[in-house]
Structure 1
Amino acid sequence: MSIAGFRQQVVCLIVAMGGLLFGFDTAVISGAIIPLKQQFSLDTAMEGWLVSSGLIGCIIGVLITGILSDRIGRKKTILLAGWMFLLSAVGCAFAPSVFILVLSRMIGGIGVGMASVISPMYITEFAPAARRGQMVAYYQLAITVGIVLAYASNAWLDGIDLAWFSRAEIWRPMFLVMAVPSLAFLVLLAKVPESPRWLMSRGKADKAAQVMQVIRDPEEVEKEMYEMTNAALKANGKTGSLWLPAIRLPLLIGVVLAILQQFSGINAIIYYGPSIFEAAGFDSSNALLLQVVIGGVNVLATFIAIRLVDRYGRKSLLKAGLAGIVLSLILCGLLFYTGNTRTPLLLVLMLFYIACFAFSLGPITWIIINEIFPTEVRVKAVAFCTLMLWVAVWAVGQFVPWLLTTAGPAVMFWIFALFSAANFFFSWKVVKETKGRSLEEMEEVFMAPH
């Protein structure tokens, strides 16, 4: 690997840490909610508000990023997201009341929303075309690592005695742990350059060229600068509106993939896994252990996407993963429908589902959303697609507990299988392959003539 290639890897891994904080922040509440309920005597409504406040923050963060990123730059927006995570960690850990706790969770949610837009977007703009899929997949990998770290951190803290916090307030160090990666993220970001494509879009061609000379091999700089300059000239004077006819197809693809990623049921299985396993007849301690196993498989299978996405392409992995997702969901539903759930086959199918999601739908949705739009509308379009993803997260969160209670796990699995089958055909017929194409070439792939 050349020096420029090494720098590319380092910068993309640093920015991908936004995904790690995203995953940690969303998962840490799972271990903290029981002691919080006991200490503050939370009723059902207040518990729901505490959990959902983070989601409200996510939506605010997505909207803020859509406004800020084009104005102040990608790097400053990432730094702002890092500060949101740090403030949330400290605010939650030392919250004197439920009000401050909810406010701090909302601030963390803003960081999650900002990171979900800006981290994969920066990597997309920064990475070379030949390795862009792999490098954006680092972001999904970081999310899965963050989730597992939150589970592991909660379990470790729950098993030790701390001099600074009482057992009744074990939730405080659970939140405080996130300050460590948040600080590391902020320190490391000091070495990250601004996105050269954002610099070019702001008429700062000299600065963009300086960055490119550091992060690209000499033979790549001239070609990529030429493409960026031409794209900037073509974009000059355009309004950057999402409602232009040329944006309709990529926007349709981005929104549909974002929504159907969540309607594959991934969050239902990640967050309600213990309930599903208990419904299958496993005792609660084994159900929680199996949840940790699911998190580990989620991490490991993401490496498949990192290794293969730039070799075999986005569509191939997407279709292969969705085929496996549909099959596993149908069979899981069948096991629950027939009452044959006390079998290792259920665990095998659940792990197979997680693996299929982790190498396909999880990372590739983020990759495609971030690479299909031209620079002048990219932040607005990605923010809109990401907003639709978070709306889908909310809808699934409202839908799953009711569905498990009234219709049962079998029907829930089959509904998610139906949505995933629709995603398979959409990916097969509508989604375009983008492997190896520069961002400036995407107009040829996706855009209708003006």
Structure 2
Amino acid sequence: MVVIGALLALYGPVVPALRDRFGLSEPTAGLALAAQSLGAVVGVVGFHSLHHRIGNRALLASSYLTMLAGTLVFGLIGVWPLMLAAAAVTGLGLGGVDFAISRLFLIGLGSRGPALVNVAHGCFGLGTVLAPAVIAAAGPAHYGPVFVALGLLSLIPLACVRGIRARPTPAELSPAAPAGDRRTGERRLPVVLAGFVALYLLHFAVQSGIGSWEPTHLHALGHSMTSATAATSAYWLAMTAGRFLVAPLARRWSPATIVTVSCALMTVSVLLVMLPGPTPWAYAAAGLCIGPIFPNGLNWLNRSAPASGSAMAYVIAAAMLGSVAFPPALGAAIEEYGVGALPVLLSGLCLATVAISMTLALAGRLRGPRQQTAVRRPATQPPQATPTTTTAGSTTATQEKGAS
């Protein structure tokens, strides 16, 4: 998770070096990140479709190897079209890793899963903080060895995949609910899934929008580029801290509460961005509130539409699409209306996330315990005390009643 976080944060700082080396325009040099992000969307959906065929261990191993191949080619081959293709290949593996780790943590770690998903995505955040610092120390012109080193770091988890059980995969877990409850859940699933897709698409739009345009906004307000860049680093660091801080609460508070409160506080923080004095602090506060949404949204999704199905793949893909599509759209709006429009646009997106999260929470309460989607259990096991595990060294009981 540290490696894939670093890969997502690495392209921005090396854009000047790519521009100078290959004689590219700024937007063209930024296509590497777009290629990786689009590759990650395809990777999430593609590896999800293969998961039940190849098993848990092969899914992660192939994801790591794909990511390794892409980073090595990008770091060693000095041909721009090949580098764009390599960035897309890196994205394929990155999407597979993100999807597989998130899904297997939720399915295979029982009651510890909600807290550890926060920790895993906190490690992802550490990568987004560390990568720009490494590039700043090494110099953007030395991006090649940094990409190669990151690729080689993926050999460490690759060496550990033997500790993951190949079976059962989440797709091999069967519902234990009565037929009537299953039919009710199946009818409601498209609506629930659409709500989560919208929630992830919009909150990632806010997350990536701040990360992309905060320096420009702060510089327009009179801050130096050095302080504006430092404030953006503080924003990413706060987002990482938010995930670690919420991890102990994930076993006490419902994920619906965590996500809804986080969306509301994110909105308040972005509204405070409109005040010129506390703007850098407001951005940092927004990062602190944004951090818990992704992992705890997955916990919430798993209770509403268990991760043994396809819902998680679509939701993670939607999040990645939001991070690709919205920063350029916000940039076009800034070019048209000025950078002062950024807080207004971000506030509108935040208010939409609050409305969606509150609607999903209310719908969950109205469904009641009888209509909740049942915990998935292996089809080959009896319903009592069925074990669900992904690690060879630890077998945990199926999540208790009410965890579905």
TM-score when scaled to structure 2?
0.83
Residue by residue, what CA displacement relative to the aligned partner does 1:67-93 show, whole Å, maximum 9, x if unpaired? 111211222112111112211221111
Residue by residue, what CA displacement relative to the aligned partner does 1:260-314 show, whole Å, maximum 9, x if unpaired? 2223x11111233322221221112222222222222222221122111221211
Please, which of 131, 137, 147 is the counterpart of residue 150 of structure 1? 131
8 Å Cα contact 2:273-2:283 kept in structure 1: yes
Counterpart residue number, 1:368: 300
The 3 A distance-change label for structure 1 pair 315 and 63 is closer
Please, which of 319, 327, 330 is the counterpart of residue 389 of structure 1? 319
Alpha-carbon distance between aligned partners in 1 of 2:264 and 2:311, rounded to the nearest angstrom = 28
Deviation (angstroms), 1:39: 0.9
Residue by residue, what CA displacement relative to the aligned partner does 1:221-255 show, whole Å, maximum 9, x if unpaired? xxxxxxx7847x97xxx9x9xx9525224323322
Alpha-carbon distance between aligned partners in 2 of 1:355 and 1:169, rounded to the nearest angstrom = 32
Counterpart residue number, 2:237: 296
Quick one: which amino acid aligns to residue 153 of structure 1?
V
Counterpart residue number, 1:165: none
Alpha-carbon distance between aligned partners in 2 of 1:170 and 1:68, rounded to the nearest angstrom = 36
8 Å Cα contact 1:319-1:424 kept in structure 2: yes
The 3 A distance-change label for structure 1 pair 407 and 310 is farther
Greater CA drift, 308-317 or 38-47? 38-47
Counterpart residue number, 1:4: none
Quick one: which amino acid aligns to residue 287 of structure 1?
A
**Alignment map for 1:278-293 (pairs within 5 Å):** 278-293=219-234
Quick one: which amino acid aligns to residue 204 of structure 2?
Q
Residue by residue, what CA displacement relative to the aligned partner does 1:45-100 show, whole Å, maximum 9, x if unpaired? 53243332112212221221231112112221121111122112211110131122
Counterpart residue number, 1:214: none
**Alignment map for 1:251-266 (pairs within 5 Å):** 251-263=193-205, 265-266=206-207
Unaligned runs of 5+ in 1: 1-16, 159-167, 202-227, 336-340
8 Å Cα contact 2:273-2:282 kept in structure 1: yes
Secondary structure of the residue aligned to 1:177 is helix
1:439 and 2:357 aligned: no
Greater CA drift, 34-43 or 109-118? 109-118
8 Å Cα contact 1:298-1:358 kept in structure 2: yes
Counterpart residue number, 1:11: none
The 3 A distance-change label for structure 1 pair 45 and 303 is closer
1:414 and 2:333 aligned: no
**Alignment map for 1:105-144 (pairs within 5 Å):** 105-128=87-110, 130-144=111-125
8 Å Cα contact 2:14-2:141 kept in structure 1: no
Alpha-carbon distance between aligned partners in 2 of 1:69 and 1:371, rounded to the nearest angstrom = 21
8 Å Cα contact 1:250-1:446 kept in structure 2: no
The runs of 4+ residues in structure 1 deviating greater than 4 Å are 228-231, 444-447
Deviation (angstroms), 1:199: 8.3
1:187 and 2:187 aligned: no
Counterpart residue number, 2:388: none
The 3 A distance-change label for structure 1 pair 180 and 291 is farther
Deviation (angstroms), 1:120: 0.6
Alpha-carbon distance between aligned partners in 1 of 2:25 and 2:283, rounded to the nearest angstrom = 32
Alpha-carbon distance between aligned partners in 2 of 1:318 and 1:170, rounded to the nearest angstrom = 40
User: May I ask how many residue pairs the two structures share in their alignment?
Assistant: 374
The 3 A distance-change label for structure 1 pair 229 and 294 is closer
1:425 and 2:355 aligned: yes
Alpha-carbon distance between aligned partners in 1 of 2:14 and 2:348, rounded to the nearest angstrom = 34
Deviation (angstroms), 1:352: 0.9
Alpha-carbon distance between aligned partners in 1 of 2:83 and 2:351, rounded to the nearest angstrom = 40
8 Å Cα contact 1:32-1:174 kept in structure 2: no
TM-score when scaled to structure 1?
0.75
1:250 and 2:192 aligned: yes
Percent same amino acid among aligned pairs? 16
Alpha-carbon distance between aligned partners in 2 of 1:254 and 1:248, rounded to the nearest angstrom = 10
1:174 and 2:146 aligned: yes
The 3 A distance-change label for structure 1 pair 370 and 175 is farther
8 Å Cα contact 2:13-2:132 kept in structure 1: yes
8 Å Cα contact 2:266-2:350 kept in structure 1: yes
Deviation (angstroms), 1:180: 3.6
Please, which of 42, 50, 54 is the counterpart of residue 60 of structure 1? 42
Counterpart residue number, 2:286: 353
8 Å Cα contact 2:76-2:144 kept in structure 1: yes
8 Å Cα contact 2:235-2:286 kept in structure 1: no
Counterpart residue number, 1:332: 273
Deviation (angstroms), 1:200: 5.0
Unaligned runs of 5+ in 2: 378-398
Secondary structure of the residue aligned to 2:159 is helix
Quick one: which amino acid aligns to residue 93 of structure 1?
G
